[in-house]
Chains A and B, each alone.
Chain A
Amino acid sequence: MLPLVLEEVRFVAGGRVIIDSLSMEIDAGPRTVILGPNGAGKSVLMRLCHGLLTPTAGRITWRGTRNGRRPRQQAMVFQRPVMLRRSALANVTYGLELAGVSRRERELRAQDVIEAVGLSHVAGKPARVLSGGEQQKLALARAWALGPEVLFLDEPTANLDPGATRDLETIVGQIHASGTKIVMTTHNLGQARRLGDEILFIDGGRLVERAPVDRFFADPATAEAAAFIRGELPWT
């Protein structure tokens, strides 16, 4: 279904331009990290790509599908995990049920991913009483179970402690290794380095710079990116 192509995409909300004539192409393969200062439009861009928001102008096309429309084989994990009032396992099977997976198959797949993210011991517990880190792992498991071609992650570790962040990064690595394209936003430069293959640097709703991760950090091509790296580094 990839590549995903954005052409002159604009998004305006409440009279404010959030994404401004942005064009880019996201290809299969490398882990793509969207970087940028707060308010740059990262999360909105992610939601536009995932199809939760509709662009005010411009076109978003999935080139790899027959009609270019939004395919189902994609998933998204949000900054704050949102769990239904049912068991951890049932939260995973719920996504599979919506995807039309048969009952027996859902149970098996859910067990597998829950084990893979290390939550087997709490699979039967109500999801909403799990810790923040466990809930975010569960959110990853829910997404992973769907076997998506693309997984969008919006600041997935922003609310987590270092230990949980490390676990999560490992899981994201495993998901990528299983053949899923990763697109993620972060404002944590260390994480961008650890998890990214390529960087999309966004500022003021525009794509300012796109580069492989090493070159981006070593030798940013634009003054904005350079300033951003300088400004953020001390807190990494």
Chain B
Amino acid sequence: MDGISAAFGEAARLVAAADPALVAIVALSLKVSVAAVAAAALIGLPLGAIVGITRFPGRHFVVVTLNALMGLPPVVVGLVVYLLLSRAGPLGPLGLLFTPAAMVAAQTVLVTPILAALSRQVLEDAWHEHGEQLRSLGAGTGDSVLTLLWDTRFALVTIVLAGFGRAAAEVGAVMIVGGNIDGVTRVMTTAIALETSKGDLPLALGLGIILVTLVLAINAAAQLIRTAALRRYG
């Protein structure tokens, strides 16, 4: 049983065939995870910035909590979001359960603490460097948050990508709130889980190889941009 080489062969075959069903699955994966990471960035980065550059009672507790929430188990997130979105739950009337929107919501919950905790560290360091100068120039907290978010943009890109990797790779949450419905909410990870269940290990691993390659390619591109930008802007 040369399962691994069979898997690479399967991956190559899948890519070469450009099967529309596979393309749809990959596209949905990207769409859902990109949307979730975008939403998480909108919430998490400013949150991380505020915690990073302000001092308030209980701040230490918030920092510890954010760091701990980075390890939220996807299944737990999925379960909580499921209970919220279920028809019997508080957000049931929205009818979002088993839709891509529900998957976006679950991944957003999963990724937001990661972005907040990691950007908190980056912004805290930036504040250490720029804080006095910004205050000297008369910048308020809001000005400082925006200024330093922009100033650390290259470091934040890496953080956002870490969040994207986490979102694209998780299966527990999207399986529960998406339902892995063929053609509607089936993404790469749930497809992999399904093919594993069906005992088609080469196909499952082949899909896995495609997923890893995609995440790798996106990260490599971002890393190149970041290196070039750092060389340019210092």
Contacts and interface: CB of A to CB of B under 8 A. Distances in A.
A99 B232 contact: no
Interface string A175-218: 00000000000000000000000000000000000000000000
A128 B229 CA distance: 12
B19 interface: no
A75 interface: yes
- Give the bracket for the number of chain B residues in contact with chain A: 10 to 19
Contacts of B153: 85
Contacts, number: 47
B229 to A, nearest CB: 9
B143 interface: yes
B166 interface: no
Interface string B219-234: 0000000000000111
A146 B136 CA distance: 12
A50 interface: yes
B139 A84 contact: no
Contacts of B150: 85
B137 A94 contact: yes
A47 B147 CA distance: 22
Q: Please indicate which of the listed interface residues A72, A75, A85 has the most CB atoms of chain B within 10 Å of its own CB.
A: A85
Nearest to A95: B137
A52 B135 contact: yes
A127 B135 CA distance: 19
B139 A75 contact: no
Contacts of B234: 85, 126-129
A91 to B, nearest CB: 10
B31 interface: no
A78 interface: yes
B151 A85 contact: yes
B15 to A, nearest CB: 39
Contacts of B232: 126, 129
B138 A82 contact: no
Contacts of A127: 234
B151 A72 contact: no
A223 interface: no
Given A82-B129, A84-B147, A128-B234, A98 B139 contact: yes
A226 to B, nearest CB: 34
A98 B134 CA distance: 9
Contacts of B132: 47, 52, 78, 82
Most chain B CB within 10 A, of A47, A98, A126, A128, is at: A98
A86 interface: yes
B133 interface: yes
Contacts of A146: 137
A146 B139 CA distance: 14
Contacts of B138: 72, 98-99
Contacts of A85: 150-151, 153-154, 233-234
A51 to B, nearest CB: 8
Contacts of B151: 84-86
B227 to A, nearest CB: 14
A217 B38 CA distance: 63
B137 A84 contact: no
A232 to B, nearest CB: 27
Interface string A65-97: 000000010011010001011100000001100
Interface of A: 47, 50, 52, 72, 75-76, 78, 82, 84-86, 94-95, 98-99, 126-129, 142, 146
24 contacts: A47-B132, A52-B135, A52-B136, A72-B138, A75-B136, A75-B137, A78-B136, A82-B129, A82-B132, A82-B133, A84-B130, A84-B151, A85-B153, A85-B233, A94-B147, A98-B139, A98-B143, A99-B137, A99-B138, A126-B232, A126-B233, A129-B232, A129-B233, A129-B234
Q: Which 10 A-B pairs give the minimum distances between C-beta atoms?
A: A128-B234, A129-B234, A82-B133, A85-B233, A126-B233, A76-B136, A95-B137, A85-B151, A84-B151, A98-B137
